[in-house]
Amino acid sequence: MNDLTLEDFWKILSVDTSASAKEIFYRLYYDDDGFPICYSMDELPHAFVEVDKDSFAIADTRVRVVDGKIQALKTKAGQRLKLRPASHGICCDVRDVCVVVEETEPHIKWDYNTDETN
């Protein structure tokens, strides 16, 4: 039988874990044209800009990164956003737009028809 006391128990629980805590980064990864690839807290092999926690939670894809700064895409009043095939955007399976795939797999890139004016 183990002879741990209540005091030993509390000593075990009071181990300082702050040194091993990982700093959290919120990032918007974008392609060479400045269009969003994804929002992530992971380190990915793409260019990125850091965003605040609220922007990360919203994860707006109607933006573009220009000179390291995020700019909202201007749309016409009342315009509805619709997915369309594009030369940039998210790589999706050729049979199902809901399935995101790697760029090395057969895919179609999709983006919103924002009629960008910036």
Are 67 and 83 contained in the same domain?
A: no
The full DSSP string for 2-66 is ----HHHHHHHHT---GGGPPPP--EEEE-TTS-EEEEESS--SSEEEE--HHHHHH---SEEEE
Report the distance separating Cα 54 and Cα 72, nearest Å: 15
Instruction: Please state the domain count of the chain.
Output: 2
Looking at the fold, whether 64 and 79 belong to one and the same domain comes out as: no
The per-residue pLDDT for 78 is 61
Looking at the structure, tell me whether residues 19 and 60 fall in a common domain. Answer: yes
For position 118, what pLDDT does the model report?
43
Q: What pLDDT score was predicted for residue 14?
A: 74
For 13, the domain range is 1-72
Tokens 């895409």 -> residue: 73
Per-residue CA distances from 47 to 44, 53, 63, 64 (Å): 8, 19, 15, 13
Positive or negative, the CA dihedral 23, 26, 28, 29 is: positive
Confidence (pLDDT) at 116: 47
d(CA 1, CA 4) in angstroms, rounded, equals: 9
Confirm whether pTM is higher than 0.85: no
Q: For tokens 């749309």, what's the residue?
A: 75
**DSSP 3-state of 108:** strand
From first to last of its 118 residues, the chain has per-residue pLDDT tens of 567 788 887 877 776 655 556 778 999 999 888 888 889 998 888 899 999 999 999 988 889 999 999 998 876 666 666 778 888 778 888 888 888 888 889 988 887 765 544 4
Q: Are residues 51 and 10 in the same domain?
A: yes
